[in-house]
Structure 1
Amino acid sequence: MGSVLLVHGWGGAFSTTWQRSGFTALLTDAGKHVIGVDLLGHGEAPKPHDPELYTDLTERVFDAIDAESPDEPVEAVGFSLGALTLLRAAIARPERFSRIVFAGIGQNVIERDHAGATRIVEGLEQVIAAEDSHTAPDLDEMDQIARLFVQYAQQPGNDIRALAAVIRQPATGDFEPVDLATITCPVLVVVGDLDFAHPGDKLASLFPAGRCETLKNVDHFATPEAFGFFDATLEFLDAF
């Protein structure tokens, strides 16, 4: 039934995002060949601290696809940073994808929150400075989104300096509607109604074969483990 590439979000990994939740097992039971990838700075991948090295996160995505499915396009599922990375990959080489699920992105693709990214970096740098001085960071000074990202970055196995470098990567430009229109395979945008990226319907409308699924009472970080996400994605991939 084909191969499915899974791309985790910022601060996650193939193992913690997809395997631990049981999502990979569901795909395997449905006869799918799962292709896992850890983005640079995450999981088992190298974790450099130089933001310049994170300019093109699609390299490891294409390495995985070309190694495990060299002759056939793949289905793909990406969450948050993984969805944004898949978006750039599909614009660059649309012929390598037969079906894509973009989870945890939506209005933030159309209206980029550069100020929000700056606040997240400032929060991460506050934690790094506190670690260097052996003091405790004051999380109460951060806004809610920055505090959530900081807490997510402090999960076991993460390198907070590498994760800060990922966000501080040189700007690669905003997504233009004309570029999104080149992704002609079926696309599903999945976003929770409590996600800062909500809504996702406008983004979905920019793809020739796109549609949106909104998850009720689901926030950003809960998305890849939500039953609604499982159901919508498996149905879309014809994996029931």
Structure 2
Amino acid sequence: MRDFRWPPPPDAGPRTYGPGPSAPRSGRPALPEPETELVATPHGVRLERLVTGSGDPVTVFAHGLGSGIATTRPLGSAVHGRKVFFQFRGHGRSDAPTGPWSYLDLARDLRAIADLGSATRAVGVSLGAGALCRLLVESPERFDRLVFFLPAVLDQPRPPAVRERLSNLLDAIEAGDASALAEEVSYELPPAVRNTPPGWAYLRQRLDQLLRDGLAPALATLPEQVPVRDRAALARVTVPALVIGCVADDLHPVPVAEQLAAALPNATLHVYDKPGVLWTERADLRTRISDFLNG
């Protein structure tokens, strides 16, 4: 049942204008958007990139489907060295070459950004975790440490309900329907956060970004695909890996995280006991990732 309405009630949103402070009154997973750059890649696709921090090691962060730099930045807030965030093709200001696209295309985007930034570590979120798996099948020793946060798919396609969610999201963006788009984005929020000032602030930020930059229609074919044909191919990836999942997350089933951790010879699995980790366990998640990468 729908438990919010759009536009938000007058007293349910932030009372300031502009980008606002770096953290809302009770926290939200996305940070204000900084100035980014477009970089050319060897495969001819310009990608939007943000580099923060300094020194070594260098960690590349790959976002989820329909997300971007803003939603991955919190994961690197305590990670040492340089951090390279980017937008996959079809997201943000990155190019959207003629489709259809595959996980191989996404792996090329990830590899190009990692190579340009001399990254030795990688964090993949949802779709980004799939792209990272595809890259590792070809180059199992490309990185020396790996984090997979909420992997969504491995060698079995996503269920029809997930494909329908993405289709609804793309339709709402194409139609410029803020109400329908808010409905879809609200599923990213835990029920307890909806209809709260931080929840509305998050919705406003996500809607502003999605309605401004859009999402490429070619993304619609990705939920029907798998990153790897056989998870056994990941047995050659012997570097330390951290796999993080959470229960009751329909878009990121725990069995996928379990299968990925089992396929990687040197992986540690952690499963949170409730969804909405970036809201409910933000500090623990940040510490868990940074301790692993900084260790």
Task: Give the TM-score taking structure 1 as reference length.
Answer: 0.75
Q: CA deviation at 1:58?
A: 1.6
2:291 is matched with: 235
Q: CA deviation at 1:183?
A: 1.5
1:26 is matched with: 78
- From 122, 135, 139, the equivalent of 1:89 is 135
1:11 is matched with: 66
Q: Sort the Cα spacing of 1:121 and 1:215 in 2 relative to 1 into closer, same or farther, 3 A.
A: closer
Q: How does 1:1-240 map to 2 (within 5 A)?
A: 1-14=56-69, 16-19=70-73, 21=74, 23-27=75-79, 30=80, 32-48=81-97, 50-53=98-101, 56-69=105-118, 74-105=120-151, 108-127=153-172, 130-131=175-176, 137=180, 148=187, 155-158=207-210, 159-162=213-216, 164-169=217-222, 171=225, 174-196=228-250, 197-199=252-254, 200-219=257-276, 222=278, 226-238=282-294
2:124 is paired with a residue whose SS is: strand
Q: Sort the Cα spacing of 1:186 and 1:42 in 2 relative to 1 into closer, same or farther, 3 A.
A: same
**Cα contact 1:188–1:210 (8 A) shared by 2:** yes
1:92 and 1:152 map into 2 onto residues whose CA distance is: 39
Q: CA deviation at 1:109?
A: 2.4
Q: Sort the Cα spacing of 1:152 and 1:74 in 2 relative to 1 into closer, same or farther, 3 A.
A: farther
1:135 and 1:157 map into 2 onto residues whose CA distance is: 12
**Cα contact 1:11–1:152 (8 A) shared by 2:** no
Gaps of 5+ in 1: none
1:81 and 1:152 map into 2 onto residues whose CA distance is: 23
Gaps of 5+ in 2: 1-55, 189-202
1:152 and 1:130 map into 2 onto residues whose CA distance is: 17
Q: Sort the Cα spacing of 1:223 and 1:236 in 2 relative to 1 into closer, same or farther, 3 A.
A: farther
Q: CA deviation at 1:126?
A: 4.0
Q: Sort the Cα spacing of 1:35 and 1:135 in 2 relative to 1 into closer, same or farther, 3 A.
A: closer
**Cα contact 2:90–2:215 (8 A) shared by 1:** no
**Cα contact 1:223–1:229 (8 A) shared by 2:** no
Identity rate of aligned residues, in percent? 21
**Cα contact 2:137–2:234 (8 A) shared by 1:** yes
2:134 and 2:179 map into 1 onto residues whose CA distance is: 38
Q: CA deviation at 1:153?
A: 11
Q: Which has the larger radius of gyration?
A: 2
2:9 is matched with: none
**RMSD, aligned α-carbons:** 3.3
Name the one with the larger helix percent. 1
* Residue identity in the other structure for 1:13: G
Q: CA deviation at 1:114?
A: 4.0
